[in-house]
Amino acid sequence: MHNWIRRIGGAAAVAALLISSALAETTYIKAGSLFDSRTGRVSRDAVIVVEDDRITAVGDSGIDIPVDAEVVDLSSSFVLPGVMDMHTHVVGNLDNYFFAGYFQSPHRATIGGVVNARKTLMAGFTTIRNVGASDYADIALRNAIDAGEIPGPRMAVSGPSLGITGGHCDNNSLNSSFEERSDGVADGPWAVREKVRKNVKYGADLTKFCATGGVFSKGTKVGMTQYTLEEMQAIVDESHTHDRKVAAHAHGNEGIKRAITAGVDSIEHASFLDREAIQMGIDRGTYFAIDIYNTEYTLEMGAANGVPEENINKEREVGTRQRQSFTLAVEMGAKVVFATDSGVYPHGDNGKQFARAVRFGMTPAQAIQSATTLTAELLGWEDRVGQIAPGMFADIIAVNGNPLADISELEDVDFVMKGGIVYKNK
C-alpha cells in the first residue's frame, strides 16, 4: 500500500484502501512492543512481514527489510492482534430512541449496520460475532464486507434469533391486533429444527436462541427459563448437524444449566451463575460470553433514550449480580470470552469493557487473550485470527501506551490493519 493512501481521509481513504487490496505487495511492520496472545509475553523490536492479506513471518529486527520496501513504522507503539467481540448487534437504527424501529423503515437498520460496522472496525475490533438480526440483514452486511464493498470487521452471524412466543426473542410491545411476531419465533422441537434449517439455508454461520427472559424485552422475567430441554436439544442437534455452533441467551441460573445440558457452545450474559453452573460449563467446554460494561450506559442514559422503566429496573436487577458471576467464573477457570452486547451502548465503545474485565477479576493479559485466542477458539477460527503469527490474517492493531500497565489504552486504538489493509493510522 502506498504512502499517499495513508494521507487521505474519510470515504476517499476507505475507497482507496479497498482498491489497494488488489495490489500484491509485501509490507514490513516494525513493532516496538509485540504481544504474543498465546503466551501473554511481550517481545521488543519485532518485525512482521505481511503479503497480501496474510502474515508470512514474525521475527526480531534481524529480518532483512529491502531498501525500497513498504514499511509501517510502529516502533514506538504496542502492537497486538486485532481484538474480537463475541456479542454484538451492529444492525440497528442509528436513532438512539428505544422504539425507533417502529417508526423508521427496517432498511434504515441495515444502513445503520454499515455505519456501525465501520465504527467497530475503527475501534480495533477486526472480528465480531453478531447474534441476532431480523430479515437476514446481518448476512447481507457480512457478505458486503467480505466482498470488499464496505469496511467492517470479519463477521460470524446468526440471522434471526430463535425464541418462544412471547419470550425475549419475540416482539411484545404492541397489542394483539397488530399480530406482532419476530422472525425467529418457533415453538416445539420440530418447529425449532425447521427454523434452524431456514437460517442455514440463507447463510447463517451460527444459531442464537433465547433460553431465558431478558432485560430489553417487554413482559419477560430476566431469570425465567424459556424453551424446554427437549426444544433446546433439538436446536443444538440440528445446528451441530449443519456444523453451526450455538449461542444461548441465558440470564437465569436454571436456564443456563438447561442450555449447557443441551450442549450449547456459549452462554450469553450468564448473569445469575452459581458454582454448579460454572463447573458444568467447565466440564463440557462451554464458553461464557458475559457483558459487564453496558449496565453503566443503560442506567445513565436509558431514560433519556426512551427505555421504559420496566427495562431499566431489570438492568438494575442484573448489573451487580452479573459482575459477581463474571468474577466467579474467572476465579474458577471457566472460558470467559470478550462479549459486550454492543448496540445497548454506542458502537465503537466496545473497548471500554476491557477496564471492567480487569476490575472484576482478569489480569490485563487475560483480558486481551479473552478477546483474541479464546474468541478464536469459540469461533473455530484458530487457524486464521487471534494471533500475530505466520499463516494468520494480517489483523493487527496498535496503541500508544502499554495496555498491560493500563488496559484503558485499548479504548483509543491508534492503528488498525485488517487483512493487510491499513484502515486507521494516527
Q: How far is Cα 116 from Cα 85, in angstroms, rounded to an integer?
A: 13
Provide the whole-model pTM. 0.91
Domain ranges, residue 330: 83-379
Answer positive or negative: Cα dihedral of 27, 13, 89, 346.
positive
Residue 1, pLDDT > 90, answer no
203-219 pLDDT, tens digit per residue, is: 999 999 999 988 877 88
From residue 131, how far is each of 276, 327, 364, 379 by CA, in Å? 26, 24, 26, 13
Do 100 and 213 lie in one domain? The reply is: yes
Do 199 and 314 lie in one domain? The reply is: yes
CATH code for the domain in which residue 155 is found: 3.20.20.140
Do 64 and 182 lie in one domain? The reply is: no
Do 150 and 296 lie in one domain? The reply is: yes
Do 340 and 418 lie in one domain? The reply is: no
Residue 364, pLDDT > 80, answer yes
Do 71 and 184 lie in one domain? The reply is: no
Q: How far is Cα 372 from Cα 33, in angstroms, rounded to an integer?
A: 17
Amino acid sitting at position 71 = V
Do 11 and 119 lie in one domain? The reply is: no
Angle at 204 between CA 112 and CA 288, to 5 degrees: 85
Overall domain count for the chain: 2
370-399 pLDDT, tens digit per residue, is: 999 999 999 999 999 999 999 999 999 999
Do 293 and 195 lie in one domain? The reply is: yes
154-185 pLDDT, tens digit per residue, is: 999 999 999 999 988 888 787 888 888 889 99
C-alpha cell at 47: 518485525
String of DSSP letters for 337-396: E----BTSS-TT-TTHHHHHHHHTT--HHHHHHHTTHHHHHHHT-TTTSSS-STTSB--E
Do 185 and 49 lie in one domain? The reply is: no
Residue 12, pLDDT > 70, answer no
Q: Would you tell me how many other CB atoms lie within 10 Å of the CB of residue 68?
A: 6
CATH code for the domain in which residue 64 is found: 2.30.40.10
For 294, half-sphere exposure in the C-beta direction (CA atoms, 13 angstrom radius) is: 25
Do 245 and 266 lie in one domain? The reply is: yes
Do 200 and 294 lie in one domain? The reply is: yes
Q: Where are the beta strands (DSSP E) in 36-108?
A: 42-51, 54-60, 70-81, 83-88
Q: How far is Cα 412 from Cα 393, in angstroms, rounded to an integer?
A: 22
Do 271 and 186 lie in one domain? The reply is: yes
